[in-house]
Chain A
Amino acid sequence: MSQRSATYDAKLLRRPFRRWWRETGWRHLVGVGVVVFSVFPLIYVFSASLNPGGTLITANNLFSNFSFDSYVELFNRPQQPYAAWFLNTLFIGLTAAAGSVLLGALAAYAFSRMRFTGRRFGLITLVLVQMFPQLLAMVAIFLLMLGIGEVFPAIGLNSQIGLIMVYLGGALGVNTYLMYGFFNTVPTSIDEAARIDGAGHARIFFTIILPLVSPILAVVALLSLVGTLSEFVIASVLLRDPERQTLAVGLYQFISQETSQNWSIFAAGAVLAAIIPVALFLVLQRYIVSGLVAGSVK
């Protein structure tokens, strides 16, 4: 393979400029244009975060300053407890992601490996439920959690456990169908061989199937984590105390209260908040793309 591409490259190098331009050169021009369009807002926000005390107007001089003071300042604001938001988001995101993966995988295993009454109906329902994101019912979710909170304050309004439970309600609808497709690509003969060797259904599921489908588990976990991280509506409706809020709710309120004054601090908060999802995306790129093609939307 490498040999072939080497000779291929050698051939390319010999191309005259006009032919190179017609065949691939203009593609690089498009590429550079797209790259500028893609990264320019990210560079802008990174530069703003390195400009302590900066406002919206001073952020326009890109990289005029180079200091991490805004990052320090970010953690010293009692009114806007950024550290708490960060940890809350991680806690809620990781728990909801783990729960979603588990619930989705259990259901996908049932749909993929078992035949039962109502199976087709169940699958169609899942595909349809996918079209109705939970935020459509935000009023009802709010009133339900208000009611639950009157009797069980620990899981009602203003509780992170309650919020995680709400997110888990959306898990089956969003993830199962994606996983189901992937489970189907694992041949049933593997299950049967294990069964003949004496493995029960639980052992087959946990020790044989789950490792085989780990790419899709990673994709679902990541998409679920990123989804929770960006989720604003339900989190803003359910979590009232600043100490309990997530990054999405906290940073939005930060920016709507102080608009352009503390732009540098906001930018620092944005950069920190984005590091984990961006890193995960880049590392798991290959898996994610396959998951996307199989039909998921962020």
Chain B
Amino acid sequence: MPEHTTTSGPPPREASKLTRRQRQAAKIIDATSIGWKLILFKIVVLGLLCATAVYAALVLFMNERWFVGSLVVVGGAALTWIYLQRGALPAKYLAPGLVFLLIFQIFVVLYSGYVAFTNYGTGHNSTKDHAIHAIMLQTQDRVPDSPTYQVSVLEESGELLASEELYFAVVTADGEALIGADEEPLEPAEGAVVEDGRVTSVDGYNVLPFAELLNRQQEVTDLVVPISEDPNDGYLRTQDGQRAYQYTSRYVYDEAADTMTNTETGEVYRDTGEGAFVSEAGEQLMPGWQINVGFDNFIRAVTEDSIRGPLIYVTLWTFAFAFLSVATTFILGLFLAMVFNDQRMKSRKYYRLVMILPYAFPGFLSALVWAGMMNQEFGFINNVLFGGASIPWLTDPWLAKLSILIVNLWLGFPYMFLVCTGALQAIPEELSEAAQVDGAKAFQAFRSIKLPLLLTAIAPLLISSFAFNFNNFNLVYMLTGGGPRDVSAGVNVGSTDILISMVYKVAFVGSQADYGLASAFSILIFIIVGTISVIAFRKTKSFEELN
């Protein structure tokens, strides 16, 4: 078997090159080498996987998420198929990681792309039906002289698939029992037992006992059940879990004209395609709903002055910050590597041990500690090192930038020192000796022999370091919070914000979240980082080594 004895080259399991007998032999080897424990393990794991997939799919189908449910079924089936067949060895080893990679890295990137084209955010985070429902819920009054309903509060019985959701069951004037829940209008209850004008049991549901009612009082009083499919008919609400009343909204929704009318003022709000009902005067009725806005977010980012200005500023600073971070840490790291890369020097080991400490200390804590030391009024640096000066390290736009670079130098130089030391030691000493014999000065020998070799060796690391600092969220956010804030900007940014911290602030900080705009910024970062890395890797020819 010549293929089996070669040390490099293709591994032995390449079916096309083996004879039938060799394949048979390989099968026997495989079959005999797998112990029963392994088979049992495989059966148990696959069984659990299938059970989870079936359960997840069932729940999804019950919630009417047909597409995602089908994906779960297809995915589960594909995994089972991969592990049940013989062969497909690479797939068996890659599948576990790939599942997570596909969902939480690849899919979320595509999903960011989708969200960037919507108006998703505060006041626009659901469908139009939900928005209508929510508007109607906000401004409700009890209908004068409306009947009182004897209400029973129920929850689904059964253990496995039961939700926590609460239901109302009521009896109509003609004795019919109805059941409904949040966003599920009243409908005839099957198998309902009525006693004294009150529902006492329904198939598949448990009536909440009094103690439980008290326990979940908040949930019960918050529950609002639509009387019918038409939201204008109003809703049932209860204060005590015993009697329910009919409430209607101040707003009336006209389905044919697709308008909302305020019955008190007579103001008419129309759906103008902006994802909200808008009055003649331009007043929006909140909440709105999520719509596709095409390139609006991107257009806003480049045309609205209050966004464009900060965006350009932040982008430039992000580049400057990433570049200067790599440059300063690399220069200091290389300098120290050269200083300590001398056989004659003693106790280098101890220096190195201490120098690794800033790198070992968790980064977010370092930034918080430095933020304390750089505090203008109370910080150690102003009070002790500068004898009580009041230097605005973190609150002046330019000094804050300098502070960020200083702290990043502290955080990052040990890494550069370690990799430069490693790279320097890998360069044979004979090279510089030969150059010196030929008459080159020490510095000249270093510059034209060692430095180029060193740079080729660590260029990929410098690129990764650039990419890392490009998104060095923790440092910026923990040290200055992106501030000092630029008050003239239309979005919440400051003069040390980098792109990624801007995304975070637009999406998650403050009361107004704008997921659409934040995602549009994310896409921008993706494009920048992608372009840089492809160019950089092509230049350093890293791709060519892959095989």
Chain B residue nearest to A248 in the complex (CB): B364
Docked pose: A115 CA to B472 CA in angstroms:
37
Complex contact A260–B378 (CB within 8 A): yes
CA distance A103 to B377 in the complex (A): 49
- Pick the contact of B468: A35, A122, A260, A297 (CB < 8 A): A297
Decide if B467 touches A28 in the complex (CB within 8 Å).
no
Judged by a CB distance under 8 angstroms, whether A171 is at the interface is yes
Q: Contact at A44–B519, with CB atoms within 8 Å?
A: no
A230/B474 in contact, CB under 8 A = yes
- Selected from A137, A168, A171, A196, the residue in CB contact (under 8 A) with B108 is A137
Question: Which residues of chain B from 354 to 369 have a CB within 8 Å of any chain A CB?
Answer: 354-366, 368-369
Contact with A along B477-492 (1 / 0, CB 8 A): 1100100000000000
Interface membership of B339, Cβ < 8 A = yes
The residue from A109, A152, A229, A281 contacting B93, defined by CB atoms under 8 A apart: A109
In the complex, B90 has a CB within 8 A of chain A: yes
A173 within 8 A of B: yes
Residue numbers in B under 8 Å from A205 (CB-CB): 93
Residue of B nearest to A116 (CB): B90
Given the known interface contacts A45-B369, A103-B97, A104-B97, the answer about A166 and B104 at a Cβ–Cβ threshold of 8 Å is yes
Contacts of A230 in B (CB 8 A): 362-365, 474
One of A51-59, A64-72, A73-81, A212-220 at the interface: A51-59
In the bound complex, residues from chain B placing their C-beta under 8 Å from that of A21 are none
Q: A276-298 vs B: 1/0 string, CB under 8 Å?
A: 01101110010001101101011
Partner of A188, one of B8, B94, B369, B500: B8
Given A42-B357, A135-B471, A139-B115, the answer on whether A295 and B461 have CB atoms closer than 8 Å is: yes
Contact B38 A202 (CB under 8 A): yes
- Given A24-B346, A30-B336, A107-B93, decide whether A138 and B467 contact each other with a Cβ distance below 8 A: no
Complex interface bits, B393-428 against A, C-beta within 8 A gives 1, otherwise 0: 000000000000000001000110011001100000
Assess A44 versus B373: contact at CB under 8 Å? Given A195-B12, A230-B363, A277-B360.
Answer: yes
Report yes or no: A12 in contact with B344, Cβ–Cβ below 8 A: yes
CB distance from B490 to the nearest CB of A (A): 19
Structural contact, A226 and B362, CB atoms closer than 8 A:
yes
Shortest C-beta distance, A49 to chain B (Å), equals: 11
Q: How far is B512's CA from A112's CA once the two chains are assembled, in angstroms?
A: 49
Q: CB-CB < 8 A to B63: which residues of A?
A: 150-151
In angstroms, how far is the closest chain A Cβ from the Cβ of B219? 15
Are the CB atoms of B525 and A136 closer together than 8 Å?
yes
Q: Quick check: B478 and A232 within 8 Å, CB to CB?
A: yes
Task: Please give the distance in Å from B482's CB to the nearest CB on chain A.
Answer: 13
> Is B380 among interface residues, defined by CB-CB distance under 8 A?
yes
**B66 beta carbon closer than 8 Å to chain A:** no
In-complex Cβ contact of A143 among B10, B111, B344, B355 (8 A): B111
A128 at the interface (CB under 8 A from B): yes
CA distance A237 to B513 in the complex (A): 13
Give chain A residues whose Cβ lies under 8 Å from the Cβ of B342: 23-24, 27
Q: Known: A31-B339, A135-B473, A142-B507. Contact between A169 and B464, CB under 8 A? A: no
Contacts of B355 in A (CB 8 A): 34-35, 38
The answer to whether the Cβ of A84 comes within 8 Å of any Cβ in the partner chain is: no
Let me know if A3 is at the binding interface, CB within 8 A. Answer: no
B361 and A120 contacting across the interface, CB-CB below 8 Å: no
A-contact bits for B491-507, CB 8 A (1 contact / 0 none): 00000000010011001
On whether A24 and B344 interact (CB within 8 A), knowing A107-B94, A110-B90, the answer reads yes
Contacting pair B375 A260 (CB below 8 A): yes
The reply to whether B33 and A252 form a contact with Cβ atoms under 8 Å apart is no
0/1 interface trace, chain B 93-124, chain A, CB 8 Å (1 if under): 11011101101110111011001000010000
- Which of A41, A102, A191, A274: most chain B CB closer than 10 A? A41
The residues of A that contact B94 with a CB separation of less than 8 Å are 106-107, 110, 122
Chain B residues with CB below 8 A from A256, complex form: 481
Identity of the chain A residue whose Cβ is nearest the Cβ of B360 in the assembled complex: A281
A155 to chain B: closest residue by CB:
B56
Give the distance to chain B from A234, nearest Cβ to Cβ, in Å: 10
Residues on the A chain within 8 Å of B415, using CB:
292, 297-298
Closest beta carbon of chain B to A30's beta carbon, Å:
5
CB <8 Å contact, B372 and A263: yes
What does the 1/0 interface line of B320-348 toward A look like (CB < 8 Å)? Answer: 00000000000000001001101111100
In the complex the two chains form, is B546's CB within 8 Å of A127's CB? yes
A205 to B523, CA, bound (A): 39
Tell me which residues across on chain B come within 8 A of A151, comparing CB atoms: 59-60, 63, 65
Q: A115-B14, A131-B533, A199-B33 are in contact. Are A252 and B368 (CB under 8 A)?
A: yes
Report chain A residues within 8 Å CB of B65: 151
Question: Which of A123, A196, A203, A289 makes the CB contact (< 8 A) with B422?
Answer: A289
Given contacts A27-B340, A27-B345, contact A191 B360 (CB under 8 A): no
Q: Pull 19 A–B residue pairs with CB atoms less than 8 Å apart, ordered by A.
A: A39-B357, A60-B383, A109-B93, A116-B90, A130-B464, A131-B464, A137-B109, A142-B508, A176-B97, A188-B7, A192-B4, A198-B33, A230-B363, A252-B368, A252-B478, A263-B372, A277-B360, A285-B353, A290-B422
List the 6 shortest-distance A-B pairs measured between CB atoms, nearest first.
A169-B104, A281-B360, A200-B33, A110-B93, A103-B97, A293-B422
Supplied contacts A127-B543, A201-B30, A285-B353, 10 more A-B pairs, CB within 8 Å: A8-B343, A41-B373, A44-B380, A116-B90, A137-B109, A139-B518, A143-B120, A165-B100, A270-B369, A293-B418
